[in-house]
């Protein structure tokens, strides 16, 4: 069985040497919706993810495939040029492992969780065994004395548009669907932030998470780039509840928002800002 002509066309129209990973979002979105249709109770949910390291401007989209709001597979997409450099392959591998650590704290009703790292149309398959918490392929530690490869090219040994690569991708999909058959009307996993709605909904989610760790105190909030808006939303909600939020102590990496944040000192001020 081969991919449909329309799916092949979408991938073939992408410039192989592009440095813009967003060119792959459409083709992968089309492919995943085709493989995980809503009539089978699946949902393909793109999540925008900000930079991992301070000062980085590297943003990416993670596709999380869910069945009745339970994650069953996720895919991180990077452009093909990340395949050629040791450093960008290592970064892609590290991002996958970070994402699995996010899922580790959840009680997934599955024996394993699959993840796929896609560098253009080349991809690597990761498997996380829930019971043992084993993650395959195993990580390669940096050598303290020499510069060694921690994410060799061979790890991305499947080519999506070639028969062997398509067969492997379909094999993963079949395994995921077989495991997902047992999923009923499960509650959403509590650690996942909402991916739809508005800023108010996202801010409410994080306020609940803050309350779980710290019921009342003086709060200091940091926000970086796109994170400044949620930080402000959280501050406004906390102040509406009568909590103290120090706008001067919090660090917001956006000059305009930081100025507005520091200028809000009362409940009436926050009402005007948030409305």
Domain assignment present for 83:
yes
Are 28 and 150 found together in one domain? yes
Mapped onto helix, strand or coil, the DSSP state of residue 8 is helix
The range of the structural domain enclosing residue 54 comes to 5-180
pLDDT tens digit sequence for 222-250: 766 666 777 778 888 877 877 777 654 44
Number of independent structural domains in the chain: 2
Q: Which residue has the tokens 């004395």?
A: 145
Domain assignment present for 93:
yes
Q: Identify the burial level of 233 via C-beta atoms within 10 angstroms of its C-beta, where 0-12 means exposed, 13-18 middle and 19 or more buried.
A: buried
Domain assignment present for 192:
no
Are 60 and 148 found together in one domain? yes
- Of 138, 153, 180, the last residue of a domain is 180
Residues 6 or more apart whose CB falls under 8 angstroms from that of 173 comprise 35, 36, 73
Give bridge partners of residue 77 from the DSSP assignment: 118
Are 135 and 260 found together in one domain? no
Are 159 and 203 found together in one domain? no
Are 23 and 123 found together in one domain? yes
Are 176 and 203 found together in one domain? no
Cβ–Cβ contacts within 10 Å for residue 20, how many?
Answer: 11
Are 124 and 166 found together in one domain? yes
Where residue 221 falls (left for φ over 0; alpha for ψ -120 to 50; beta otherwise) is beta
What's the pLDDT score for residue 2?
87
Q: Which residue has the tokens 């994410």?
A: 151
pLDDT tens digit sequence for 115-142: 999 999 999 999 999 989 999 999 999 9
Query: In this structure, are residues 126 and 137 in contact, taking their beta carbons and an 8 Å threshold?
Result: yes
């Amino acid at each position: 069985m081969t991919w449909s002509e329309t799916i092949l066309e979408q991938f073939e129209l992408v410039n192989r040497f592009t440095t813009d990973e967003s060119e792959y979002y459409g083709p992968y979105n089309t492919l995943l919706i085709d493989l995980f249709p809503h009539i089978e109770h699946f949902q393909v949910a793109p999540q925008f993810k900000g930079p991992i390291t301070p000062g980085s401007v590297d943003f990416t989209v993670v596709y999380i495939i869910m069945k009745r709001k339970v994650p069953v597979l996720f895919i991180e997409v990077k452009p093909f040029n990340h395949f050629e450099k040791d450093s960008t392959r290592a970064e892609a591998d590290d991002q996958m492992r970070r994402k699995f650590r996010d899922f580790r704290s959840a009680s997934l009703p599955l024996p394993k969780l699959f993840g796929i790292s896609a560098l253009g149309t080349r991809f690597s398959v990761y498997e996380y065994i829930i019971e043992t918490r084993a993650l395959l392929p195993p990580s390669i530690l940096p050598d303290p004395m020499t510069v060694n490869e921690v994410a060799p090219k061979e790890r991305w040994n499947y080519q999506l548009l070639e028969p062997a690569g398509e067969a492997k991708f379909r094999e993963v999909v079949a395994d995921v669907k077989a495991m997902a058959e047992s999923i009923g009307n499960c509650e959403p996993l509590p650690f996942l932030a909402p991916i739809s709605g508005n800023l108010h909904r996202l801010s409410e989610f994080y306020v609940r998470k803050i309350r779980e760790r710290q019921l009342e105190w003086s709060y200091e909030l940091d926000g970086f780039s796109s994170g400044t808006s949620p930080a402000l939303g959280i501050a406004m909600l906390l102040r509406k509840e009568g909590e103290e939020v120090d706008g001067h102590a919090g660090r917001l990496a956006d000059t305009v928002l930081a100025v507005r944040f520091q200028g809000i000192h009362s409940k009436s001020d926050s009402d005007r800002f948030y409305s």
